[in-house]
Structure 1
Amino acid sequence: MAENQTITIDGTTYNLDELSESARDQITNLRVTDQQIAQLQQQLAIAQTARGAYAQALQKELEK
């Protein structure tokens, strides 16, 4: 027998099967949004690293 899936929100655990379709849709929306935020954070880290490298390259050029 499969166990029911649950989600914990603000310290309260909910059985997904007992939530309304609208509530389940909002949980899906939150999960997708969280994934997008994580992806954007990774892209920002890459851009910040590249910016640092460009700034170092500029500093070396200015010291010539």
Structure 2
Amino acid sequence: MTTITIDGKEYDADTLSDEARAQLISLQVTDQKIAEHQAQMAIYQTARAAYGRELLALLPAEAKPAEPATTGLKKKKK
């Protein structure tokens, strides 16, 4: 017997209708895909931060004032 909990209520998955089971499977697949995309997004955000740090390290120390940056990156003082 597989028990699932939805909105604080427990249900025996084996007794669900075929339609309810299909919806449950769709929900589980969707949750899995969301988790995969969140993990991929974390990788992209980590890479972006690393690229930004490397770019800042390569910029000349002196630069003319410009419009506020849209990247949200700030050069560290050495």
Q: Give your verdict on TM over 0.5.
A: yes
Partner of residue 39, structure 1: 36
Partner of residue 12, structure 2: 15
SS in 1 for 2:11: strand
Aligned length: 61
One of 49, 53, 58 as aligned partner of 2:50: 53
CA RMSD of aligned residues (A): 1.0
Identity %: 52
Unmatched 5+ stretches in structure 1: none
Partner of residue 24, structure 1: 21
For 1:7 and 1:59, locate their aligned partners in 2 and report how far apart those are by CA, in whole Å.
50
- 1:23 aligned partner, one-letter code: A
Find runs of 4+ consecutive structure 1 residues off by over 2 angstroms. none
Report how far residue 44 of structure 1 moved: 0.3
Unmatched 5+ stretches in structure 2: 62-78
TM-score by structure 1 length?
0.88
For 1:17 and 1:52, locate their aligned partners in 2 and report how far apart those are by CA, in whole Å.
47
Q: If you compute each CA radius of gyration, which structure gives the higher value, 1 or 2?
A: 2
TM-score by structure 2 length?
0.73
Partner of residue 6, structure 1: 3
